[in-house]
Amino acid sequence: MKKFPVVLLLIAVAVCLLTVPASAETIGAVKAGGYELTSVHRVNGRQGVCVEGDYFWVSGSTTLTKYDRNWNVVAENTDPFAGFDLEVNHIGDIDVWQNELYLGVEYFMDGTGKNIQVAVYDGDTLELKRVFPFRSDTGQLECSGIAVDPDSGTVYMCSWIDDDSSAYLYMYDLESGTYRGKLRMDPAPKWIQGVAYDGGNLYVTSDDGDADEEAPDHMYRISPGGGSLTGNVTLEKTFTEVLKQGEIEGLAFDRAGNRFLLLYNRGARIILGMPSGFYDGYSEEIHEVYVFDPVR
């Protein structure tokens, strides 16, 4: 598809979504980077998304929401931090396995994280069930997302902070919760917002585009090398289809529906990882899940 018609299509869709507050909009197919954008759904949370069976879950910084396949809300927890011994105020990208939600929970303020917790919630009640013993000596300084790899029985955690600690994915045992080590990403993406596992590979979203310049963010594929603690990183996708460049967040692979989901925020200026005012034309931040079909 030529660039000129695609630009016109996206401008039309953007105007529609800005003026009509709908929970879901199906748009004309836009093919780019091996993925075909098929629909956009407005959601309650700004951090992460996951899917299993007939349900989707979305995390806000301080909320959890469960949706059915038509993106109707079926459950919500607006007080998810009840039951923690350490002070926490932030949820990142999330994942689900066997109807249990896996969350990276922490206390986050002005670009700095502490009191990181690996927390497991019930997929139906959205209530806290148990917490993994976090290893504070691993070098992990923040948690922006979490992913479950059921094939190897591993839980991966990623970090948003742009220093050497964010060059790794931190691994915990899915069953016991014990620390397994860390996987170094080579080369390491910057400003990682979410992580997901699919088909033997890991994927991370990177907030490495400049929204002020309308520069897009990216997704990278990490291919672990047989037994090695280093994963080779390649560019998987550049997100040029979003309605307005903003802040990329969590991601998920819908194996039952053979789709890829991306959570993206638009409208708010982000400074040190926190919303700080709005762009012209916006009075609130808008959170949307983009649904893509893979192009074979």
SS (H, E, C) the chain: CCHHHHHHHHHHHHHHHHHCCCCEEEEEEEEECCEEEEEEEECCCCCEEEEECCEEEEECCCCEEEEECCCCEEEEECCCCCCCCCCCCEEEEEEEECCEEEEEEEEEECCEEEEEEEEEEECCCCCEEEEECCCCCCCCCCCCEEEEECCCCEEEEECCCCCHHHHEEEEEECCCCCEEEEEEEECCCCCEEEEEEECCEEEEEECCCCHHHCCCCEEEEEEECCCCCEEEEEEEEECCCCCCCCEEEEEEEECCCCEEEEEEEECEEEECCEEEEECCCCCCCEEEEEEEEECC
Domain for residue 52, yes or no? yes
pLDDT at 32: 57
pLDDT at 157: 96
Domain for residue 292, yes or no? no
Domain with 58 in it = 48-252
pLDDT at 10: 38
Domain for residue 2, yes or no? no
Domain for residue 12, yes or no? no
Domain for residue 285, yes or no? no
Which residue positions in the chain have pLDDT lower than 50? 1-30
pLDDT at 296: 61
Domain for residue 209, yes or no? yes
pLDDT at 88: 93
pLDDT at 113: 85
Domain for residue 121, yes or no? yes
The model's pTM is 0.88
pLDDT at 25: 43
Domain for residue 147, yes or no? yes
The number of domains in the chain is: 1
pLDDT at 72: 98
pLDDT at 228: 75
What's the CATH number where 104 sits? 2.120.10.30
